Amino acid sequence: MSDLATRTIQARLDKDGRLVTADEPVLALQAEAGGDPHGPLAVPALASLVRLVQRLRIPVSRAVEVAQGETDVSMWVQLRPDADGISLAIVDWQVRSPRALPDGPGFADASALAPDEQGWAWQIDTHLRFRRSDIDRGEPGHVAPHAGQPLTAYFELETAGDAMPLLEALALRTSFEDQPAKLRSDPTIVYRLSGEPLFDTGGGLMGYRGRAVRLGEAPAAPVAEQPASSANIFGPDLGRRLDQALRQPLGRIIANAGTISSQLEGPLRRDYAGYAEDIAAAGRHLLELVDDLADLQAIERPGFKTASEEVDLADLARRAAGLLNVRAAARRIRIQTPPLGEAAPARAEYRRVLQILVNLVGNAVRYSPEDSLIWVRVDLENGRARVIVADQGGGIDPADHERIFERFERLGLSGSEGSGLGLYISRKLARAMGGDVTVDSAPGQGARFTLDLPAWTAPAA
């Protein structure tokens, strides 16, 4: 066993997140990522935690994996903020051979990476090491990244305003855009990076794929101003403004209420502990609303596109039900899913389809009476693949069938029961993938929601 596994590795950062002092293992990681020994942390997994602590101003402890040369390092990282900055401690440093990187629809050959778009395409693994790029076709006039090279050693990431889009996305496993990045070999060359996460068939993160567009290469087309009543009513910086205004105070509320309700600081009257849990639940609901609003901003941005890959709707239906089985069991609701072995291949984006189905099945659980059944079925017909989610709830009046797909429509729900955005976002995503979400229901007859998508057709040999 390495002595690093048994010792505590320490570092100190100032209020701006720059390294003040650091033990050699941290400095080695920083150097490999292309960072300055007294600059901001360049190791993405550590840098994202630093930004989280800066935002919430609460201690954070988390298991982290980073790449070091040809090996992977797993560790337990503890960060604690104080008046002068952040103390960082690493324990249980374990070195191992890297896992084999999966092949699949997310890691296509570079020749399939949309050659008609601006800039050049890249793909990276979960440790932000380059897998592939089509930089040769982009003819950038500088050296291309090599396989296995950390993205942060090739690019120096910069803040956009007070945000670091790539690191924020890495922490949340979401898409990002407008990440400024200087070429480390020539800092006069500046790029804008955008990317989206890649997931395997089990829902595990495989890495990211995206594009690097050199500034000055192609000026952005002006976006016409839209009236307040148009779809883009939130403005282009909704995510950043919500992040600044809500995430930090909500994070503190949730953390403090959770500490109170769990009685970590000592015994508490049962009703007071219940109040604290209610506060924490309300805070989590508000954070979910922030996420929904940010998702809404993304899908209503001009040019929004989803990935096109082979997905199995039957498998995704089973996974969505599995995520909600605990909630359903608490109300003695049974979810009947497509049997193992049944498949319904469709052309869509894995993560987005799962998001839609979790929303549809979650709504069915919310509206179903106790001791009832929800059934989920799939079918293939006339070049279309479908998932049907049916419940035994109170049903929906035909006059409200279109209304429920409007923004912020909750059909009488109150308190923390939904944001009123789930069905709106689900339909927008389905239509972006060439499909739709529809409902068939009447009062007293339950509801049947159908996700319809193009069936998968294997490319011609």
Mean of the per-residue pLDDT values of the chain: 77
Are 138 and 122 contacting, i.e. CB atoms less than 8 angstroms apart? no
* E strands present in 120-268: 120-125, 130-133, 155-157, 176-183, 186-199, 205-214
Burial 227-265 (b: 16+ CB within 10 A, else e): eeeeebeeeeebbbebbeebbeebbebbbebbebbeeee
* pLDDT one-digit tens code per residue, 410-452: 554 444 455 567 888 899 999 999 999 999 998 888 999 999 9
Low-confidence winner among 109-123, 360-374, 400-414 (lowest mean pLDDT): 109-123
**Residue pointed to by tokens 């960060």:** 79
- Strands 176-183, 186-199: pairing kind: antiparallel
Angle at 363 between CA 429 and CA 455, to 5 degrees: 40
CA dihedral 323, 327, 333, 335 (to 10 degrees): 0
Please report the pLDDT score of residue 250 as a whole number: 61
Are 198 and 121 contacting, i.e. CB atoms less than 8 angstroms apart? no
Kindly give, in sequence order, each residue whose CB lies less than 8 Å from that of residue 176, ignoring residues fewer than 6 positions away.
165, 166, 168, 169, 193, 194, 195, 210
* pLDDT one-digit tens code per residue, 315-340: 999 988 888 888 898 889 999 999 99
3-state DSSP assignment of residue 388: strand
Q: Cα separation of 453 and 381, whole Å? A: 11
Q: Cα separation of 278 and 263, whole Å? A: 14
Burial 395-434 (b: 16+ CB within 10 A, else e): bbeeebeeebbebebeeeeeeeebbbbbbbbbbbbbeebe
* pLDDT one-digit tens code per residue, 345-394: 999 988 889 889 988 998 999 889 999 999 999 999 999 999 999 999 98
The rounded percent of the chain whose pLDDT value lies above 90 is 23
User: Looking at per-residue confidence, does 115 or 426 come out higher?
Assistant: 426
- The DSSP letter of residue 15 is T
Please report the pLDDT score of residue 74 as a whole number: 80
Alpha-carbon distance values, 191 to 30, 63, 181, 443 (Å): 22, 31, 5, 55
3-state DSSP assignment of residue 375: strand
> Closest by alpha carbon to 333, among 366, 355, 356, 360?
366
Q: Which residues pair with 192 in a beta bridge?
A: 180, 213
Could you count the other beta carbons within 10 Å of the beta carbon of residue 382?
5
Q: Cα separation of 217 and 302, whole Å? A: 20
Low-confidence winner among 8-22, 55-69, 184-198, 275-289 (lowest mean pLDDT): 275-289
